[in-house]
A = this chain, B = another copy of it.
């Protein structure tokens, strides 16, 4: 037995005696013999805390030790998160990139081990190459969407802005050709399986994390509320389940209960309303991140604020109007922030649909007989174990913004005009001047 295997299987033995929350105990599932699901080489949550922490906690029983480690690292993550929020959208974008790389690595490693592809030529290189091509495309789209005008002023960068999609496609097609060249007899099946594996991972991790990045630039409140609603729901569902949990919710996650589910949903709703009210007070959270030529950097100010964060008058529902009328109160409208409505929708999504991301991930882990996606965060498992629900939420908020919030963006329109030929730009300018004068928007 090699030393690596030795160490990992030692750890596995140790873990057996502890409180294994999600470990699939039943081994009755049929496993095709070609697949290596023994898990002997898969990275597992090994409870490998740093040595300092280890020696400090040595005297405690393992169950308690695990709790404390989990708690400490939860706090560490929450504080790092706040610090990055303070640093601003670019730092958060980097955070998402790092998380995405790590999640991709975790999932690819599982495929790599399960399909015993250690001797496959180029597989890892190709996987990372496809990741690179996808990220080049998606981050490029993001950046061009926000800062395209600025970037295209630079002679060197201009073609990269203008032909971004074409360059991305060439990168991808080169990868595809590389894959075809890398095909070797006897391994076709493995190679195509891993090709599929890589692409599904790209679809799940990379595309969705691109949506999250987009939410960051739309205004930090969108990003912060969506992520914290999921975290809040996780924590409160756990607490409610711990104290009142009786009725099991779904077979896939035997520890989840209806009590936790409902309690979590209520707590998330309340948090959503209070949290969004507090954050709405700050320009820093409310304004979309845009490049400001005056500051020479990304600005987090806006004037006026987007309509969704300003008080609006709404009609009261007819029933309530009638009740008020009975009491002689002449109130027929009320004032509120539109964002409240959106936040209620997000809270419901975070507590009702969001958990399906987690169920999906636990089904996946059971399929491959692994406990966790990795051992990145002591006490928590892999990064993917923490972010499974975040991905679904991020996608929801992204599409929600796209359909219900985003009005045509003047900056983007300007960017499109700048893509016209000079004579067309001039033509457009005169037409616009005429039109604005006709409407009396432009004086004289």
Contact = CB atoms under 8 A, between A and B. Distances in A.
Interface of A: 26, 28-35, 37, 149, 162-166, 169, 173, 176-177, 179-180, 183, 185-189, 191-192, 195-197, 199-200, 203, 251-252, 353, 356, 359-360, 363-364, 366-368, 392, 395-396, 399-400, 402-404, 407-408, 410-411, 413-414, 416-422, 424-429, 431-433, 435-436, 439, 441-442
B359 A180 contact: yes
Contact of A410 (B34, B164, B428): B428
A164 to B, nearest CB: 8
A424 B173 CA distance: 42
A417 B413 contact: yes
Nearest to A395: B169
Contacts of A392: 173, 176
A188 B363 contact: yes
A367 B189 contact: yes
A29 B189 contact: yes
A419 B439 CA distance: 12
A196 B177 CA distance: 22
Would you call the interface of chain A mostly helix, strand, loop, or mixed? helix
Interface centre among A163, A186, A251, A429 (most CB of B within 10 A): A429
15 contacts: A29-B189, A32-B32, A32-B35, A35-B189, A149-B435, A176-B392, A177-B356, A180-B252, A196-B196, A408-B416, A408-B417, A410-B424, A413-B417, A414-B431, A414-B432
A199 B207 CA distance: 14
Contacts of A414: 428, 431-432, 435
Contact of A34 (B34, B203, B421, B439): B34
Contacts of A433: 429
B30 A33 contact: no
Given A180-B252, A368-B189, A436-B429, A404 B166 contact: yes
Contacts of A183: 252, 363
A344 to B, nearest CB: 16
